[in-house]
C-alpha cells in the first residue's frame, strides 16, 4: 500500500538549534517526495521536492531534505531554527492511482515548535 | 502572484442544507485536487481532475458529495445534504502534469472552513 508516515506529532527545538522533521514512505516505483508547510488558517505551501538526482535537496526558507532510499526516508532539516519556522509540516509522496495516473498522499503532519 | 482562489472562506450552515464550494485553479494548471482537513483524519483526498476529467473520487462519500469542473477555470465541490460530520476545512489545489511522469508540486488555496450545525 502507498503511504507516508510522520512518526512525530510534535517536534520542539530551541531557536538557533538544528531541526529535523522525520518522514518515511512506502510507494511502488521511484518515489517523488515533497514537503509542505502550513501556517495557522492558511493553505499548504510547497517547500521542496525530490524527483531524482542529488539525495540532498534544498528548498525555500533555508530548509533542505535528505532522500535515503535504503531507509525509505525523506527527513526535513534546517541548520538553525527560527521562531517563525513554527508551523505544521507535511510530507507527501506521489503514488500511482487506480485510474492509471498519479495522486499525492500526505502524511498526518508534524507540528514544529521553535522556542525562543 | 498566481494563486488558487477558493470561496467561500468560511461557511456556517445547518444540517440538511446544500453547500457548494468553489475553486479557481491557477491559469495553465491542468490538475485539480480536493482535500479535506480535520484534526482526527488529517488531509484526506476527496477527488481529483486532470484536464477537467475526474480521475479518482474514491475518497469521496458518493451519496452526498459531488465534484465537477464545468470549465478550466472553475472546480466545484458540493455537499447535499450536509451533516455535522462534514465540518472541516476543504482545500483545493492545482498543479501541472504532463501525464508522462511529470511530478510538479501542488499549489493550495487558503481553504473553505465549513461548519455544519
CATH number at residue B62: 2.60.40.10
Q: What is residue A11's predicted lDDT score, i.e. its pLDDT?
A: 98
What domains can be seen in chain A, in order of their start residue?
3-115 (2.60.40.10)
Q: Is residue B113 a part of any domain in this protein?
A: no
User: Which of A30, A44, A89, A100 has the most B C-beta neighbours within 10 Å, making it the best mutation to test the interface with B?
Assistant: A44
Q: What is residue B82's predicted lDDT score, i.e. its pLDDT?
A: 97
For B54, the domain range is: 5-102
Rounded distance, CA B62 to CA A76, Å?
36
Rounded distance, CA A104 to CA A46, Å?
13
Tens digits of residue pLDDT in B66-82: 999 999 999 999 999 99
Tens digits of residue pLDDT in A26-50: 988 888 999 999 999 899 999 999 9
Tens digits of residue pLDDT in B34-51: 999 998 888 999 999 989
Q: Which residues of A touch B91 (CB under 8 A)?
A: 43-44
- When divided into structural domains, chain B yields a total of 1
Name the grid cell of B51: 484536464
User: What mean pLDDT comes out for the span A7-36?
Assistant: 94
Q: Which residues of B touch A109 (CB under 8 A)?
A: 42-43
Q: Which residues of B touch A98 (CB under 8 A)?
A: 56, 58
Q: Which residues contact A43 (CB under 8 A, 6 or more apart)?
A: B4, B91, B93, B108, B109, B110, B111
pLDDT at B26 exceeding the cut of 60 = yes
pLDDT at A94 exceeding the cut of 70 = yes
Q: Does B90 touch chain A (CB under 8 A)?
A: no
pLDDT band at A25 (very low <50, low <70, confident <90, very high): very high
Amino acid at each position: 500500500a502507498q503511504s507516508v508516515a510522520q512518526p512525530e506529532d510534535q517536534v520542539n527545538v530551541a531557536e538557533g538549534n538544528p531541526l529535523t522533521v522525520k518522514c518515511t514512505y512506502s510507494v511502488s516505483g521511484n518515489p517523488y517526495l515533497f514537503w509542505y508547510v502550513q501556517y495557522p488558517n492558511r493553505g499548504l505551501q510547497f517547500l521542496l521536492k525530490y524527483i531524482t538526482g542529488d539525495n540532498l535537496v534544498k528548498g525555500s526558507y533555508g530548509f533542505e531534505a535528505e532522500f535515503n532510499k535504503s531507509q525509505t526516508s525523506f527527513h526535513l532539516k534546517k541548520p538553525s531554527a527560527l521562531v517563525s519556522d513554527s508551523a505544521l509540516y507535511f510530507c507527501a509522496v506521489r503514488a500511482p492511482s487506480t485510474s492509471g495516473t498519479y495522486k499525492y498522499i500526505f502524511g498526518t503532519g508534524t507540528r514544529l515548535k521553535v522556542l525562543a | 502572484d498566481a494563486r488558487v482562489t477558493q470561496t467561500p472562506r468560511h461557511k456556517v450552515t445547518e444540517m440538511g442544507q446544500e453547500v457548494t464550494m468553489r475553486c479557481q485553479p491557477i491559469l495553465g494548471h491542468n490538475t485539480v485536487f480536493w482535500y479535506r482537513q480535520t484534526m482526527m483524519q488529517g488531509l484526506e483526498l476527496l477527488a481529483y481532475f486532470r484536464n477537467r476529467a475526474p480521475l479518482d473520487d474514491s475518497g469521496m462519500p458518493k451519496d452526498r458529495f459531488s465534484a465537477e469542473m464545468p470549465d478550466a477555470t472553475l472546480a466545484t465541490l458540493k455537499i447535499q445534504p450536509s451533516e455535522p460530520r462534514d465540518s472541516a476545512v476543504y482545500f483545493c489545489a492545482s498543479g501541472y502534469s504532463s501525464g508522462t511522469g511529470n511530478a510538479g508540486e501542488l499549489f493550495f488555496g487558503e481553504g473553505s472552513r465549513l461548519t455544519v450545525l
